[in-house]
Structure 1
Amino acid sequence: MKIILAVDKNWGIGKDGKMLYHIASDLKHFKATTLNNICIMGRKTYESMGGGLLARENIVLSKNPKYKISDGVVFSNPADVVSYVKISSKESFVIGGEKIVEIFLPFCDEAIITKINGKKEADTFLHNFDSDEDWEIYDKSDTFTEDGVSFEYVRYRRVK
């Protein structure tokens, strides 16, 4: 499993159920990376997007075992999600939110993070891979700028 998210300087990922930044080229990068693969998300993330992502297998983790969606699969037990993705030939990406990343972090071996050179007020945050000795940077892009916002893609991998 991999994590793919955009963060600001404080590792903030969202506020009031919305992303902090909408950077068109980053959204294209996200789409190209996750296309035809599995995207794992929580119910709130699923609902904030207005439904599942096209051309991807959408998996939603919800505490409510009766929660149903028409464009994906719902699980109420994280272990069932792990078992499901293990038998798939597709890559699996955890796309949020904060609690879902925390649940699946022990099963992830890579994180693809868009690091945005800015700070906004946030109420949800991502695990700080820079301060976790179990993770290391193994690839970093050039710095890009779009609409006055600079960012880079940083890939982390688990080392322990």
Structure 2
Amino acid sequence: MITIIAAAAENNALGKDNQMIWHLPDDFKRFRQLTTGHYIIMGRKTFESLPKLLPNRTHVVITRQKDYSVPDGVLIAGSLEEAIKISPQNESIFIIGGGEIYKQSLPIADTIELTRVQTSPHADAFFPEINPDQWQLTFEEFHPKDEKHAFDFSFLTYKKTS
């Protein structure tokens, strides 16, 4: 199963200057719970934006750079198709970004785990539009802003309809 996991604003903003735009601890917890123990596929810029390797996950980095250097245990792929081929076929695989990788993944993904952040900031990376003819919202959980979260947000789960 291929799952796209992302946090995107109402205007589909993902980030700016290779950084996240918000800090939502509950979103980080959900991300960790869902992805721990699995392969996580990402573009090179997303990989470079991580503060460190995420524990208990196998990182697969998509890059066209032939001599791209990564730490031991990190896998390199030249395309999304190659990244999926080198991931276990009988396990859940998570696509964690960025915008272009999400766009390429939509046609082949089974599930989208989206944190919809109630803001519309300026950004330079965006999540693709979710076509309601192809995706059905199956779960929604609202979280109001509080002392740890500057924005209201909702956890949304979409399943492919076809």
Equivalent residue runs for 1:1-150 within 5 Å? 1-70=2-71, 71-87=73-89, 89-129=90-130, 131-146=131-146, 147-150=149-152
Q: In the TM superposition, what is the alpha-carbon distance from 1:10 to its structure 2 partner?
A: 0.3
Deviation sequence 1:65-123 (CA, Å, 0-9, x none)? 22131141011132221222253x43111000011112222220100000111121111
Q: Secondary structure at the match of 1:85?
A: coil
How many residue pairs match? The answer is 158
Counterparts of 2:86 and 2:97, CA distance in 1: 18
Q: Secondary structure at the match of 1:39?
A: strand
TM-score when normalising by structure 2: 0.90
Gaps of 5+ in 1: none
Moved over 3 A (4+): none
RMSD: 1.5
Contact 2:40 2:96 in 1 (8 A): yes
- Sequence identity (%): 25
Counterparts of 1:17 and 1:10, CA distance in 2: 17
- AA partner of residue 153 (structure 1): F
Counterparts of 1:23 and 1:50, CA distance in 2: 16
Gaps of 5+ in 2: none
Counterparts of 1:84 and 1:52, CA distance in 2: 19
Q: Secondary structure at the match of 1:106?
A: coil
TM-score when normalising by structure 1: 0.91
